[in-house]
């Protein structure tokens, strides 16, 4: 007699979750720091943003590498291309943002920097929803 | 015959050549300023450091150029003393903190254009005893400094304004006899 067992689980490995926690925390922090810089023109805020983005980029790169490896080699492929795409876009936007923030003075943020920071923040949140969200796993037993 | 002294700088003179457009009139009240260039990836050319190969600058008739010192460690400033001795400050700094991630990366890139010689962190004394234009005595005058730079003769003392100002007052030293 066939038995269908449905349960829900998150598809992330705990270490992957820890790595993803950094972009999730640091990109929004950089966005807040950018907004503060645009409001105050105190140069230290853009310096803060630069470090936050650099740190987020390092971990975004690790998350992307992990996602790609598990996409091709992993046992559980439920993560799918949507997650890989979101993480890849987040990483590319983050690296671009790092170069943008490497410009000097007021040019270091500007519209382009702000847009990239918003984009990174949104993509980090989307990645977190995809990663930590519950996945339906159905097992069929004969 | 007049004499122009030349320090055998480790840095390549070619590195100092300007890249600016010779057609630009950069003098007067309204100079032609180049357009602002602001790119995401800065266009950079890092010169490769090269030792001095004996090349000498061209000087007017009646002058000659002679190297008076070699094996200096990043000479940056020199001071001609009333008795004809020359003090040379040697050092290369490098204590600037990385304020932004860019500073870390820019430091690595700029290092490619820097001499492999370590800064001497000292003041060297050059003395021409017999007045023939050649250095007869090259000796370390003061050692253990932190990237000495500007030199000034003040009240018969030799001072080097750098990070530690107080060292001026307690390490002044008599010239060798």
What is the per-residue pLDDT for B94?
A: 72
Give me the pLDDT at residue A62, please: 96
Name the pTM for this structure: 0.71
- Residues of A within 8 A of B97 (CB-CB) are none
Enumerate residue ranges in chain B where pLDDT < 70: 1-21, 154-177
Shortest Cα–Cα distance, A107 to chain B (Å): 9
ipTM over 0.85: no
pLDDT in tens, B119-131: 888 889 898 888 8
Residue in chain B nearest A46 by alpha carbon? B100
Cβ-defined contact of B101 to A50 (cutoff 8 Å): yes
pLDDT in tens, A2-59: 556 555 555 668 888 899 999 999 999 999 999 999 999 999 999 999 999 999 999 9
CB contact under 8 A, B102 and A47: no
Measured between CA atoms, the residue of chain A closest to residue B103 is A102
Name chain A contacts of B41, Cβ cutoff 8 Å: 99
Q: Are the beta carbons of B153 and B81 closer than 8 angstroms? A: yes
Q: Which residue is it, tokens 């790169």?
A: A61
Of chain A, the percentage scoring pLDDT greater than 90 comes to 62
**Over 80: is that where the pLDDT of A69 sits?**
yes
A99·B100 Cβ contact <8 A: no
Helix, strand, or coil (residue B26): coil
For CA atoms A49, A51, A56, A61, give the dihedral sign. Answer: positive
Q: Give the largest CA-CA distance in chain B.
A: 58
The upper half-sphere exposure of residue A85, i.e. CA atoms within 13 Å in the direction of its Cβ, equals 3
Greater confidence (B158 vs A123) lies with: A123
Alpha helix stretches (DSSP H) within chain B: 101-111, 167-170
Determine, for residues B100 and A107 on separate chains, whether the beta-carbon distance falls below 8 Å: no
- CA–CA distance, B69 with B124 (Å, rounded to integer): 10
Q: What is the pLDDT of residue A76?
A: 56
What is the bridge-based pairing of β-strands B3-6 and B64-67? Answer: parallel
Q: Stretch A78-83: mean pLDDT, rounded? A: 76
**Per-residue pLDDT, B107:** 87
The pLDDT assigned to A127 comes to: 94
User: Would you call B44 an interface residue with chain A, using a CB distance cutoff of 8 Å?
Assistant: no
């Amino acid at each position: 007699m066939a038995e269908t067992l449905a349960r829900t689980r998150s598809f992330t490995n705990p270490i992957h979750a820890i790595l993803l926690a950094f972009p999730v925390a640091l990109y929004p922090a950089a966005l807040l720091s950018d907004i503060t810089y645009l409001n105050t023109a105190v140069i230290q805020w853009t310096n803060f943003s630069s470090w936050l983005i650099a740190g987020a980029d390092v971990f975004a790169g690790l998350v992307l590498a992990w996602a790609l490896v598990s996409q091709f080699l992993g046992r559980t492929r439920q993560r799918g291309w949507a997650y890989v795409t979101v993480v890849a876009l987040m990483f590319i936007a983050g690296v671009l943002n790092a170069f943008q923030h490497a410009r000097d003075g007021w040019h270091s943020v500007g519209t382009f920097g702000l847009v990239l920071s918003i984009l990174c923040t949104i993509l980090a949140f989307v990645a977190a929803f995809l990663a930590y969200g519950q996945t339906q796993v159905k097992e069929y037993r004969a | 015959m007049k004499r122009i002294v030349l320090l055998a700088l480790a840095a390549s003179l070619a590195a100092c050549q300007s890249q600016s457009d010779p057609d630009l009139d950069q003098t007067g009240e309204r100079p032609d300023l180049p357009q602002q260039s602001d790119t995401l990836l800065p266009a950079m050319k890092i010169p490769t450091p090269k030792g001095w190969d004996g090349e000498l600058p061209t000087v007017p008739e009646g002058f000659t150029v002679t190297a008076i010192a070699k094996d200096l460690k990043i000479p940056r400033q020199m001071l001609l003393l009333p008795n004809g001795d020359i003090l040379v400050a040697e050092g290369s700094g490098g204590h600037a903190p990385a304020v932004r991630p860019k500073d870390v990366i820019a430091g690595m890139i700029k290092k490619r254009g820097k001499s492999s010689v370590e800064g001497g962190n000292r003041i060297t004394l050059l003395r021409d005893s017999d007045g023939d234009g050649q250095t007869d005595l090259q000796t370390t005058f003061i050692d253990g400094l932190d990237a000495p730079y500007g030199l000034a003769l003040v009240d018969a003392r030799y001072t080097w304004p750098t990070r530690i100002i107080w060292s001026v007052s307690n390490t002044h030293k008599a010239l060798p006899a």
